[in-house]
Structure 1
Amino acid sequence: MSVRRLLVPGRGVAHPEHWSWEWVRRRSGYAWAPEPPGPPYEPEPRVAALQAVLAASPDPAVLIAHSAGCLTVAYWAERHTGPVQAALLVTPPFVGDMAVPRRPLPFRTVVVASRTDPHATFEQAEEWARAWGAEVVDAGPVGHLDSKTGFGPWPRGERLVEALCGGEPL
């Protein structure tokens, strides 16, 4: 069985130069789960769409979530099980007023945290990582790790995904 690489979108539709779109366009095996909807962020339909994609195949999956997509993964893991091998959660936003699950996720999880993210401090990203039982990768001063901060291609992210697909150390 091959490992599916499923991109879980954030709140809005990422710019076409965003690393997630680059990966879908350039690499086989990468797909959206679900297709990126526009704002506002509503967890229920996104969790249902993610479940539908995961349930469509028994092949293992690595979830690659950006921003609010990280929250979608946490909500999904609270309600469902499935063939998820690991998750790469990139710059999760800190949303103090949302009841986001704060339990360890039942699969290997890596949180990529930025030192200059306008949506969460590094310490808040570390708080998510502790709650979710995740490893933390310090991405440095990369803003929200999006196209606005210069991230079209993101080779380090691709290396992290491949390590998670192979069950290797980071």
Structure 2
Amino acid sequence: MVRQLTDPEVLAELERLSKSYNFILVPGFKNSGPEHWQSFWERDVGIFQRISQRRWDQKDIELWIDAIRRHTDELKHPAILIGHSLGALASACAIAAETPKVAGAMFVAPAEPLRFEVENRIPMSRLSVPTTLVASHNDKLLTFARAQWLADMWGSDFIDVGEAGHINSEAGFGRWPYGLTILRDLVNKIEEAA
């Protein structure tokens, strides 16, 4: 099933949790390429789904939010959103809009809202579900201090991954097994809160 993606115990636990939750990948601007960790997770682990839309090259966050809503509307189980970059911002917006069936989210390397002209669109208060924000000290799309500010504002657990760029394939993140551990820990927290 998986080609050395991560610890077998983490995968087994995520498999078990996938019977109660849908794991939804929300890529950033221009979608995630074939060497991006989201693409590896989708290909190599049978529990991940990806939102779909036609205009990945347009910097309109509403396209992402609508795609999340369409996807979650069709789900049987609650969703855990796993958003990267603009997808992380869109996931936060979807939660703030009380999109049905979203139980939590993992925000990885959120983009600077000003870069996409969405500073007035993103939520400015604590989110209603458990979330984790993963940030890097040298991300060119968002300063570390700004990432901490977003995490504090949204009430997200904060994970510092050090000097990791934008936590994408260009920064050397292919399969990113540690990300699956972070996801497992988030879902366990959601389970405990239920």
When the two structures are superposed, what TM-score results if normalisation uses the length of structure 1?
Answer: 0.92
Q: Secondary structure at the match of 1:85?
A: strand
Q: Does 1:122 align with 2:140?
A: no
- Aligned match of 1:13: 31
- Aligned match of 2:43: 25
* Structure 1 or 2: more helix by fraction: 2
- Aligned match of 2:177: 155
Amino acid at match of 2:153: A
Alignment RMSD: 1.8
**Percent same amino acid at aligned positions?**
31
Contact 1:51 1:80 in 2 (8 A): no
Q: Does 1:44 align with 2:66?
A: no
Q: Secondary structure at the match of 2:106?
A: strand
Quickly say closer, same or farther: Cα 1:36–1:136, change in 2 above 3 A. Answer: farther
Q: Secondary structure at the match of 1:128?
A: helix
Picking from 87, 93, 98, the partner of 1:69 is 87
Q: Secondary structure at the match of 1:22?
A: helix
Residue 49 of structure 1: how far off its partner (Å): 1.4
- Aligned match of 1:80: 98
Residue 37 of structure 1: how far off its partner (Å): 4.3
Contact 2:22 2:75 in 1 (8 A): no
Q: State the distance in 2 between where 1:142 and 1:36 align.
A: 29
Task: Identify unmatched segments of 5+ residues in structure 2.
Answer: 1-18
- Equivalenced residue count is 169
Q: State the distance in 2 between where 1:58 and 1:26 align.
A: 23
Q: Greater shift after overlay, 8-17 or 109-118?
A: 8-17
Q: State the distance in 1 between where 2:43 and 2:28 align.
A: 18
Q: Does 1:166 align with 2:184?
A: no
Q: State the distance in 2 between where 1:133 and 1:117 align.
A: 21
- Aligned match of 1:111: 133
Q: Secondary structure at the match of 1:159?
A: helix
Residue 95 of structure 1: how far off its partner (Å): 2.3
- Aligned match of 1:142: 164
The structure number with the bigger radius of gyration is 2
